[in-house]
Amino acid sequence: MENERFTDQMQAFGRWKGDLITAVNRYLRWLEKNQISDPETELRIFELIEALKTDQLTIAFVAEFARGKTELINAIFFSEYDRRVAFCHRRRVVPPCARPSCSSIKMQS
């Protein structure tokens, strides 16, 4: 796992969440089939599934001016492109396809 790229690990995490959602849905169907489900349990399971579906990872980089934040972002997130992708603009890092007002990177798996 040490040699895996960050994006590979995030994709694996997304697949794991999908498998977990499937397993929770199977558990809910099993509860219903065996008539041991109740509305409160069904609501809690529904909320769990929705939380897994909408889960986001937010990463913020905080340091003084000119301390290598952009270089770190490029190394972690964009190393597979073999070039700099994120760049610094008016002291804000602008990842691809992001609004210039973005001050953190949100990743959804």
What type of residue sits at position 60?
A: A
Q: Which residues pair with 59 in a beta bridge?
A: 105
The per-residue pLDDT for 38 is 93
* pLDDT tens digit sequence for 39-90: 999 999 999 999 999 988 788 888 888 788 888 887 777 777 666 666 655 5
Nearest to 108 by CA among 52, 60, 69, 70: 52
The reported pLDDT for the residue numbered 93 is 54
Can you read off the two tokens belonging to residue 71? 């270089």
Predicted pLDDT at 21: 96
Where do the structural domains in the chain lie, given as residue ranges?
Answer: 6-54, 58-107
> Which tens digit of pLDDT belongs to each residue from 8-35?
888 899 999 999 999 999 999 999 999 9
